[in-house]
Structure 1
């Protein structure tokens, strides 16, 4: 397995098939638009390849909040269905752990849908714990990816 940081829109766009496992209706146009808004805010992706096939991908970005100081956020953690339970997710979280330490982050944060119990179990096993609730108020449902 090869891990690679993706830092350009072009590199990220070529992995849209893997993104489709999480967001099947994501168009290339919408993906490109959102990436162009995210990249100026420290957004990168980590991709895992077996040969030339992307078998896992996650976004991540560094931020700062008053309560936590600098943190690293995992965004859209996806493992190809045929490669689940084969250590791909662990490879990615280990890489993100090392990246967070390298960047001087105080913590790693992420969101997981409340009904995604498989993800909850995985994240607990990786040392993550719930800290609070992530509240949202949907203003424009047409723009949602899921």
Structure 2
């Protein structure tokens, strides 16, 4: 019914409308510039498709840290609202976990906004544990 696959860099701009829904305060040209910059830093993106329609995305960062080892960080995970609550997020995460294992990852970490209570519930349901706070300071 749904297909999940990596989005090739040649088609990466297809994620911009979904990123804009997720980040409505960020201008499209800024999102595009940041995406272009991220592609230079080993960023990958996976998409969920209903036929040929892109209905969900997740950025993928692969990192190694002292305390956890090699891991995947799903980033800007988003499913169109009309497709939410249908198990697609779980399918996407299982695909990501399998892909990460194939790349030698032993864990997954991510950030979730403090006001995103439905997201927090989703991540807990996926087996994530709240282990830290993420801080940010604008320079």
The corresponding residue for 1:98 is: 98
The corresponding residue for 1:6 is: 7
The corresponding residue for 1:40 is: 40
TM-score (norm 2): 0.91
Alignment of 1:63-142 (within 5 A): 63-139=63-139
TM-score (norm 1): 0.87
Once the two structures are superposed, residues 106-133 of structure 1 have per-residue CA deviations (whole angstroms, 9 ceiling, x without a partner) of 2101100011110011111111111111
How far, CA to CA, are the matches of 2:84 and 2:60 in structure 1?
20
Is the 1:55–1:88 Cα contact (8 Å) retained in structure 2? no
Moved over 2 A (4+): 24-29
Gaps of 5+ in 2: none
How far, CA to CA, are the matches of 2:18 and 2:127 in structure 1?
25
**Matched length:** 138
The structural deviation recorded for 1:25 is: 4.1
How far, CA to CA, are the matches of 1:7 and 1:135 in structure 2?
32
My pick for the range that moved more, 12-21 or 108-117, is 12-21
Gaps of 5+ in 1: 140-146
- Over the residues paired in the alignment, what is the CA RMSD in angstroms? 1.4
- SS of the equivalent of 1:70 reads strand
The corresponding residue for 1:142 is: none
Is the 1:112–1:119 Cα contact (8 Å) retained in structure 2? yes
